[in-house]
Amino acid sequence: MSDVHELSAAQQLRALRAGEVSSRELTEHYLTRIDRLDAELGAFVTVVPELALRDAARADERLARGEWSPLCGLPLGLKDLYSTAGIRTTLGSAALAEHVPTEDAWTVGLLRQAGAVILGKTNTAEFGAACYTENDVTARPAVTPYDPARYASGSSGGAAAAVAAGLLPVAHASDGAGSTRTPAATCHLVGVKPSRGLVSSAPASSFLSAGTEGPVARTVADAALLLDVMAQPWPGDLYGWRSTTSFAGAVTRVPDRPLKVAVWTETGLDAVEAHPESVLAVRRTATLLGELGHEVREIVIPANCDEPVRQALKTLFVFSVGITAPTLVPAERRRLLRPYTRHLVSAGESLSAAGVVTAQSVLARYASTFLAALEGFDIALTPTTNGPPVPLGHYFAHGVEGEADLMLGWSCYTPWVNLTGQPAISVPSHVDGEGLPHGVQLVGGQRQDAELLALAAQLEGAALWADVHPPCWYQ
Residues classed as catalytic: 79, 155, 179
> In residues, how long is the chain?
475
Distance CA 87, CA 105 (A): 12
Distance CA 383, CA 278 (A): 5
Query: Could you give the C-alpha distances from 468 to 121, 124, 442, 475, in angstroms and in order?
Result: 26, 25, 21, 15
**Greatest C-alpha distance within the chain:** 62
> With helix as H, strand as E and coil as C, how does 322-384 read?
HCHHHHHCCHHHHHHCCHHHHHHHHHHHCCCHHHHHHHHHHHHHHHHHHHHHCCCCCEEEEEC
Q: What's the N-to-C CA distance of the chain in angstroms?
A: 13
Q: 122-150 burial, b if ≥16 CB within 10 A, otherwise e?
A: bbbbbbbbbbbbbbbbbebbbbbbbbbeb
Distance CA 379, CA 441 (A): 10
